[in-house]
Amino acid sequence: MSRDAFKQSGTSPTKSEPDVIVEDHFSLLLFRLLSPSAKSWVDQNVQTDAQFFGGALVVEPRYAENLVRGMRESGLEAQ
């Protein structure tokens, strides 16, 4: 008999949806802001002259790592 509660109940843990999806387009990255929390975080932490394309924040590769780190440290799920 298995002691795994998920196997016994037939359910599995739910995976949370990401707040941000990062799309790599080589010379630029698009940060697709999927949740109100992500949009609010960008409003509070990104310069007001930031560029957007189709609702996504446009980021140069050299800034992407620090941006993702800041989002994750604030509790956002970035993929």
Q: What is the pLDDT of residue 16?
A: 83
**Does 25 reside within a domain?**
no
**Does 7 reside within a domain?**
no
**Does 10 reside within a domain?**
no
Residue with tokens 């802001």: 33
**Does 2 reside within a domain?**
no
Q: What is the pLDDT of residue 13?
A: 53
**Does 12 reside within a domain?**
no
pLDDT in tens, 32-79: 999 999 999 999 999 999 999 999 999 999 999 999 999 999 999 999
pTM of the full structure: 0.80
pLDDT in tens, 2-37: 454 444 545 545 568 999 999 999 999 999 999 999
Q: What is the pLDDT of residue 44?
A: 98
Quote the domain boundaries for residue 71: 30-79
